[in-house]
Amino acid sequence: MSMVRKSSFVVIGGGIAGVSCAQQLSESSPEADITVIAASPLIKAVTNVRQLSRALTGFDVTEKEPSTLSEAYPNIAVIHSSVLKLDAEGQTVRLSDGSTVQYKRLCICSGATPKLIAPDNRHVIGIRDTQSVSHLTSALTGARRVLIIGNGGIATELVYAIDGCDVVWAIKDKAIGSAFFDSGAAHFFLPALSGAGNADSSHGNAEAGDGVVPDCEVFIASKRMKYRLEETPSSSSSQASSSHTSADSSCGMGSALGPDWSEPTGAFSKQARSPRRTGVVDVVYSCEVDEILEPNPELYVKEHSQSTVSTGMKVNDWPVFVRLTNGQLYGCDFVVSATGVLPQVKPFTDCAEFKVAEDGGLVVDSSMRTNIPHVYAAGDVCSAGWTPAAQWIQMRLWTQARQMGCYAALCMAEESGERAAMDFSFELFAHATKFFGYKVVLLGLFNGQGLPDDHELLVRSTEGVEYVKAVLHGGRMQGAVLIGETDLEETFENLILNQMDLSAYGESLLDPGVDIEDYFD
């Protein structure tokens, strides 16, 4: 007979969402028994929390032994096991170690799994947890050319972090990093691909404006401008995948990466890149993978004659070939698949009639509850089922995983499971990260998500220093992108939240001669 453990609160997942939920539950209900079920032998702990503004928080993520969580919070027990079955009616969870845990309230923080191209191909590496990053680090030893597929956070950071070998970066979009920034910001970042500090330096094969949408030429011509979009950017807010993805899968995978995974001290232990990279980056736009092929003499000849990456390699020395949908053929040492994630909802949906969103996540209401009684969800595994605040969008990022985990705990701890109002963190989308060595802050509807076509963008750009974009509609700021040490995040955050009419300021709002911080203080 299997052992049955009883617990007031059970949290499935040892990633950022799950650990944050358990910690908040312990603080809110110090007398309650809390059980965390984690598939990974290590858990993800949020450390060095920094309040950058009212809505914007920075923090580090550290892998720790589960015992450290129990030592800091005596009412938390961590079980290293995977979930086999959820019995919603009996309010029990059966685990792979043969034990069963009975709960009063359950929070699913099982994270997401990568959408791998050719998952069974030995030459394809997916990046999700520290184990996969360790595998990548080993594979990079002696690598000459790597092909990276994807345009989200992980791919963007990885392209910048890899040095010492050539990189072919294949993206389906017209500009790099489209999940996080527009073509103007993409152009601002391009010099960093060659290690150059300004736009006048060589870009390798990533030429300025090469493959970027035509509007980018306007960005080059003007340091400060105002324009309207003819085509509204995608309103999708849940497609970004990254290091910025957050929670863990307690159904078999390890904890996902934290925000600093690509730093020299993070999980990606390859040495920090030099000021001018020694490998060439070839960005191939508007394409996806057509085929992954085993080498043969015909492929060697075709790749040698068509490749735009100059390596001086022998024509018969690649272990794998990739044909892209634009017809180009590349030989490489291995392929990195960074093409997004899928919410890890199994085995839960196999055992209960959960409501599932179009993006595959468990639908939760404004109290983070699923449609199954006493079952909550937070982080990458869930999809917001409530009507969001005007300037808030869901993206599967570590910041939101922490916010959702903490908020779900507050809802679970209250006797009724109801809260009078949502947490302030759901009033405004706010995310701070780093791309290509630059500080990046995203606020509100930073890419005009869901706004009418007549919304306006104000842009101020100083090559190699900063890129500032304000998104306005009806004269009121709806979002912003801040790249570099702008120190504008708090000011712009207040302008978005206060919805002050800025029509009278026109283009002068971003005039380099105006100190915006003092002006709107």
* pLDDT attached to residue 32: 95
CA–CA distance, 37 with 31 (Å, rounded to integer) = 19
CB 9 within 8 A of CB 103: yes
Asked if residue 116 belongs to a domain, the reply is no
Give the separation between CA 353 and CA 351, rounded to whole angstroms.
7
By CB atoms closer than 10 A (0-12, 13-18, 19+), residue 102 is: middle
Q: Does residue 327 surpass a pLDDT of 50?
A: yes
Say what the pLDDT of residue 201 is. 33
The pLDDT value recorded for residue 519 is 63
pLDDT digits (tens, 9 = 90+) for 196-232: 543 333 333 333 233 333 232 223 223 344 443 333 3
- Domain enclosing residue 501, as ranges: 430-519
Which tens digit of pLDDT belongs to each residue from 82-99? 999 999 999 999 999 999
The CATH number assigned to the domain holding 165 equals 3.50.50.60
Tell me the mean pLDDT in the region 136-146.
Answer: 89
Q: What is the CATH number of the domain that holds 456?
A: 3.30.390.30
Kindly state the helix (H) or strand (E) to which residue 186 belongs, with its residue range. helix 183-189
pLDDT at 268 over 80: no
Looking at residue 130, its pLDDT comes to 67
331 and 362 in a single domain? The answer is no
Backbone angles phi, psi at 255, to 5 degrees: -65, 145
**250 and 314 part of one domain:** yes
Asked if residue 177 and residue 59 are part of one domain, the reply reads no
Mean of pLDDT over the chain: 81
3-state secondary structure 265-297: CCCCCCCCCCCCCCCCEEEECCCCEEEEECCCH
Which of 337, 364, 395 terminates a domain? The answer is 337
**What's this model's pTM, rounded to 2 decimal places?**
0.81
Residue 476 included in any domain: yes
Q: Which residues, in sequence order, are CB contacts of 307 under 8 Å at separation 6+? A: 328, 329, 330, 331
Q: How confident is the model at residue 365 (pLDDT cuts 50, 70, 90)?
A: very high
Instruction: Look at residue 21 and tell me if it is in a domain.
Output: yes
CA dist 480 and 459 (Å) reads 10
pLDDT at residue 420, as a whole number: 57
Locate 358 and state its tokens.
């179009």
Residues 244, 329 within the same domain: yes
Q: Which residues are CB-neighbours of 356 under 8 A, at least 6 positions away?
A: 345, 349, 362, 363, 383
**Residues 165 and 274 occupy one common structural domain:** yes
Interval 31-80: pLDDT, tens: 999 999 999 889 998 888 888 888 888 888 888 999 999 999 999 999 99
- Judge if 253 and 384 occupy the same domain: no
Of the candidates 515, 519, 518, 473, the residue with the CA atom closest to the CA atom of residue 496: 473
Average pLDDT over residues 376-402: 94
Number of C-beta neighbours around residue 301 at 10 A: 12
Question: 3-state DSSP: the chain helix, strand, coil percent, rounded to 5?
Answer: 20, 30, 50
At 52 the three-state DSSP class reads coil
What is the per-residue pLDDT for 33? 96
Cα 353 to Cα 349: distance, rounded to the nearest angstrom? 6
Torsions phi, psi for 51 (to 5 deg): -85, 100
Q: What is the mean pLDDT of residues 142-147?
A: 92
Say which range, 190-204, 237-251, 268-282, 375-389, has the weakest mean pLDDT. 237-251
End-to-end, the C-alpha distance of the chain in Å comes to 66
Q: Is residue 18 part of a domain?
A: yes
pLDDT over threshold 90, residue 506 = no
Give pLDDT, residue 324.
Answer: 95
pLDDT tier, 297 (very low <50, low <70, confident <90, very high otherwise): confident
Q: Please state whether beta strands 466-473 and 166-170 pair in parallel, antiparallel, or not at all (unpaired).
A: unpaired
Are 296 and 173 within one domain? yes
CB neighbour class for 32 (10 Å; exposed up to 12, middle 13-18, buried from 19): middle
Could you write out the DSSP letters of every residue in 443-482?
A: EESTT-TT--TT-EEEEEEETTTEEEEEEEETTEEEEEEE
Query: In sequence order, what are the residues at sequence separation of 6 or more whose Cβ sits closer than 8 angstroms to the Cβ of residue 294?
Result: 320, 321
Kindly state whether residues 165 and 70 are assigned to the same domain. Answer: no
pLDDT of residue 315: 54
Which of 482, 451, 485, 486 lies closest to 185 in space, CA to CA?
Answer: 482
Shared domain check, 332 and 466: no
Domain boundary among 395, 419, 443: 419
Domain count, the chain: 3
* Across 288-292, average pLDDT: 94
Which among 74, 60, 85, 65 has a CA at the least distance from the CA of 22?
74
Residue from 156, 157, 158 nearest 143 by CA: 158
pLDDT in the model for residue 274: 44
Is 189 domain-assigned?
A: no
CA distance 256 to 17: 10
Question: Quick one: 312 and 386 in the same domain?
Answer: no
User: 396-416: string of b/e by CB count within 10 Å (b at 16+)?
Assistant: bbbbbbbbbbbbbbbbbbeee
Q: Are 132 and 145 in contact (CB under 8 A)?
A: no
Least confident of 138-147, 443-452, 511-520: 511-520
Q: Is the pLDDT of residue 239 over 60?
A: no
Residue 23 has pLDDT above 60, yes or no: yes
Q: CA-to-CA distance for 158 and 433, rounded, in angstroms?
A: 14
Indicate whether 327 belongs to any domain.
Answer: yes
- 117, part of any domain: no
Please, are residues 87 and 2 in contact by the beta-carbon 8 Å criterion?
no
**Cα separation of 320 and 145, whole Å?**
11
What is the C-alpha separation between 97 and 460, in angstroms, rounded? 57
Are 29 and 87 in a shared domain? yes
- Burial degree of 323 (CB within 10 A; 0-12, 13-18, 19+): middle
Say which DSSP state 256 is in.
B
pLDDT score for 316? 57
Residue-wise pLDDT tens digits, 477-500? 999 999 999 999 999 999 999 999
Domain-ending residue, one of 337, 362, 397: 337
* pLDDT tens digits, 406-432: 999 999 998 655 665 778 889 999 999
Sign of the CA dihedral with 150 first, then 192, 160, and 208 last: positive
Other CB atoms within 10 A of residue 316 CB: 13
Distance, CA of 89 to CA of 351 (rounded, Å): 10
Flag whether pLDDT at 113 surpasses 80: yes
Instruction: Give residue 18's pLDDT.
Output: 97
- Whether 92 is in a domain gets the answer yes
**Continuous segment of H or E residues that includes residue 341:** strand 341-343
How confident is the model over 176-198, as a mean pLDDT? 81
Q: Do 318 and 350 belong together in one domain?
A: no
